[in-house]
Amino acid sequence: MNQPHRQLVDPHGRKFPYLRLSLTDVCNFSCDYCLPDGYQCENKKDFLSLNEIKNTVAAFAELGTHKIRLTGGEPTLRKDFIDCLKIIDKTPGIDQIALTTNGYKLQNNIKSWVDAGLTHLNVSVDTLDANLFNSLTGHNRLKEILQGIDYALTLPLKKIKLNAVLLKNINSHQFDQYTVLLKDKDISIRFIELMQTGDNFDYFNRYHVSAQVLKNYLFENGWTVKLKEEASGPAIEYVHPDYQGSFGVIAPYSKHFCDTCNRLRMSSTGEFHLCLFGEKGFSVREFMQSSSQKEILKSTLCQLLSKKRKQHFLHDNDTGITPNLSSIGG
């Protein structure tokens, strides 16, 4: 790996080996907690081009970033998605390419994605009840998504995770069902505490439940905390000697959640976000156009990082400018 001459370090001493890069905010699912009315767009958006993606990833790599997660919306809806993977895979310094997806047509496409450079896969599975899944997402596709995950397990991926937003009385009583999946499958099931955004106030009040509910379940059933890896996300991982798989808990309302923040975000239209719940994004797209602008882009990123706050203020009901999670890339 090339050694960076400069690194992304914020005023609080945190380093950032991890970039979440949104390819589009378009999504074909209508999940209740994110886009209950489906994707709405009044004006056509100009998403980042392959060339802009190439230049941006190269700049971050030279600043010490070695993990890229492709997000959305649903990133695989881009017709040039495989080209995005290939470009990032060829970038010196990048050794992890992750994808967060709703699993749409996963079984048909996952092999070509892995062949193009994908190393890590996250699939959203908010319930293991088919009828409830249909109600939550607007798609009766649970069976085929689980089949796609099984197929992905036969491929040379380094890690496969299932994401579930923790929802009161919807999946907060289904931990036993998820545990069955972990018995003989080397996957991680990560429950993410529901976060308040700009447009889900009523939904949040109705369905939010503390991640402590899951932590209590895990402790009572013999699961123990696993040591974190350097480029891993905010999840606390739990393992059990009788299970191949693991549980992950992402609890953004917990104390000290932001202390080990290690990721930055780039929106699908070239806005640099220091936090999912920050006050604003900073447009850096003008510096993405050419490789000759790379030093300016790198300098600008480092300068903007000096504005990063020590923590978010979700606990004070301050959601920043985030209207919904698909707008920035979750």
Residue 72 CA: distances (Å) to CA of 26, 47, 81, 99, 224 = 7, 11, 12, 10, 32
For the question of whether the overall pTM of this predicted structure is more than 0.85, the answer is yes
pLDDT tens digits, 49-59 = 999 999 999 99
| Tokens found for residue 18 | 């991890």
Compute the average pLDDT of residues 7-16: 92
Q: How confident is the model at residue 3 (pLDDT cuts 50, 70, 90)?
A: very low
pLDDT in tens, 280-316: 789 999 999 999 999 999 999 999 999 988 865 454 4
- pLDDT tens for 152-202 read 999 999 999 999 999 999 999 999 999 999 999 999 999 999 988 767 788
Q: Taking the domains of the chain in order of start, what are their residue ranges? A: 18-327
Q: Identify whether the C-beta of residue 71 lies closer than 8 Å to the C-beta of residue 24.
A: no
**pLDDT > 90: percent of the chain:** 74
- pLDDT tens, residue by residue, 198-234: 677 889 899 999 999 999 999 999 999 998 776 566 7
- Could you tell me which CATH number the domain at 18-327 has? 3.20.20.70
Helices (H), 187-307: 201-207, 212-220, 294-305
